[in-house]
């Protein structure tokens, strides 16, 4: 199978673990990696969310920025990573420019994998090849669409979190599921621990999804009943979320004391 990858300038450790089995399997040839060279700066994102009344997102973004600086040693530069696998790279500020589309078409790819970056994918990429664009959705599409992953499952007191690898269609998180998995939510989970565990336990799903779409007998169907589209929390929701996490942890500790 001939594959094109869509990536941001940097990869996470989870991205790396997801890609390695695909790159090492001789059945799959990654003929091109398209890197997002757009300038969606932190300032622009903050301004967008202020306009939308999500002031609380400023606090979240500031915290994430500080955390990313602390963990900067863990950043994997996309260009350096793919150099070891001899994968050609092209940079683009516009995924839908004539040049970028031509570059992708010239690979005669069977599938495109959205690894990171680029936002919502649309036509003509969705129908550019046989298997379409494959992407992770960290959530059960029948209940949770949008973002941020793991936040609203914890906020709503769910006992498990779904993860889907889907073949994208037009619209947000409403594609055809290829493979799905659920991960239990622990009482001790917070946003960071849950997302990290879910990502690690589902890192092999893209590799398995490629095997599934190769089977000609497999017919992919879109989800009939889609879940609510969630967005980034406002400040009130973020505070309530933090209180709920503390309450869950306190209840868990009290239960353990009583049990012993």
- 219, 197 contact by CB (below 8 A): no
**Predicted pLDDT of residue 201:** 95
Domain at 24, CATH number: 3.40.50.170
Q: Is the pLDDT of residue 12 over 50?
A: yes
pLDDT at 177: 93
Of 14 and 216, the structure prediction assigns the larger pLDDT to: 14
What is the C-alpha to C-alpha distance for residues 59 and 50, in angstroms, rounded to an integer? 11
Residues 6+ apart with CB under 8 A from 191: 148, 150, 151, 154, 241, 245
pLDDT of 83 above 80 = yes
Structural domain range at position 32: 2-259
Residue 62 has pLDDT above 60, yes or no: no
What's residue 72's pLDDT?
A: 44
Q: What is the mean pLDDT of residues 92-115?
A: 95
DSSP state of 142: T
For residue 181, how many C-alpha atoms fall within 13 Å in the half-sphere facing its CB? 19
Total domains in the fold of the chain: 1
Residues 6+ apart with CB under 8 A from 227: 139, 140, 141, 142, 143, 144, 145
With contact defined as beta carbons under 8 Å apart, do 202 and 150 qualify?
A: no
pLDDT of 116 above 70: yes
What percent of the chain shows pLDDT beyond 70? 84
Whether the pLDDT of residue 60 is over 80: the answer is no
**209 closest CA partner among 22, 20, 16, 17:** 22
The pTM score is 0.87
Q: Would you state the pLDDT for residue 190?
A: 92
- Taking only the tens place, the pLDDT of each residue in 26-40 is 999 999 999 999 865
Burial of 69 (0-12, 13-18, 19+ CB in 10 A): exposed
Q: Residue 133, Cβ neighbours under 10 Å: how many?
A: 22
Dump pLDDT digits (tens) for 167-203. Answer: 999 888 888 999 999 999 999 999 989 999 999 999 9
Q: What pLDDT, on the 0 to 100 scale, is given for residue 70?
A: 42
Read off the pLDDT of each residue in 70-93 and give the average, rounded to a whole number.
84
Q: What are the tens digits of pLDDT across the range 205-240?
A: 999 999 999 886 566 777 778 899 998 888 889 899
**How many CB atoms sit inside 10 A of residue 239's CB?**
13
**Residue 106 — very low, low, confident or very high, per pLDDT cuts 50/70/90?**
very high
CA atoms of 227 and 145, how far apart (whole Å) = 6
**65-79, 110-124, 167-181, 218-232: least confidently modelled range:** 65-79
């Amino acid at each position: 199978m001939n594959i094109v990858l869509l990536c941001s300038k940097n990869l996470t450790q989870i991205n790396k673990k997801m890609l390695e089995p695909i790159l090492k399997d001789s059945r799959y040839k990654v003929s091109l990696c398209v890197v997002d060279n757009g300038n969606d700066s932190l300032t622009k994102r903050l301004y967008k969310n202020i306009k939308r009344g999500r002031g609380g997102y400023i606090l979240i973004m500031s915290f994430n920025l500080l955390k990313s600086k602390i963990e900067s040693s863990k950043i994997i530069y996309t260009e350096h990573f793919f150099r070891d696998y001899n994968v050609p790279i092209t940079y683009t500020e516009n995924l839908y420019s004539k040049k970028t589309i031509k570059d992708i078409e010239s690979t005669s790819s069977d599938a495109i994998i959205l690894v990171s970056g680029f936002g919502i994918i649309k036509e003509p990429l969705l129908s550019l090849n046989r298997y379409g664009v494959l992407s992770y959705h960290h959530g059960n599409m029948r209940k949770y669409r949008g973002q941020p992953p793991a936040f609203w499952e914890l906020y709503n007191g769910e006992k498990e979190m779904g993860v889907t690898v889907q073949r994208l269609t037009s619209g947000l998180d409403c594609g055809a599921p290829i493979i799905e998995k659920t991960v239990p939510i622990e009482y001790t989970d917070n946003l960071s621990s849950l997302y990290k565990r879910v990502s690690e336990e589902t890192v092999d799903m893209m590799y398995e999804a490629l095997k599934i779409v190769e089977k000609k007998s497999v017919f992919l169907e879109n989800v009939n009943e889609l879940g609510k589209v969630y967005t980034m929390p406002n400040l009130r929701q973020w505070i309530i979320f933090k209180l709920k996490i503390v309450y869950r942890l306190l209840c868990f500790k009290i239960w353990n004391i009583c049990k012993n």
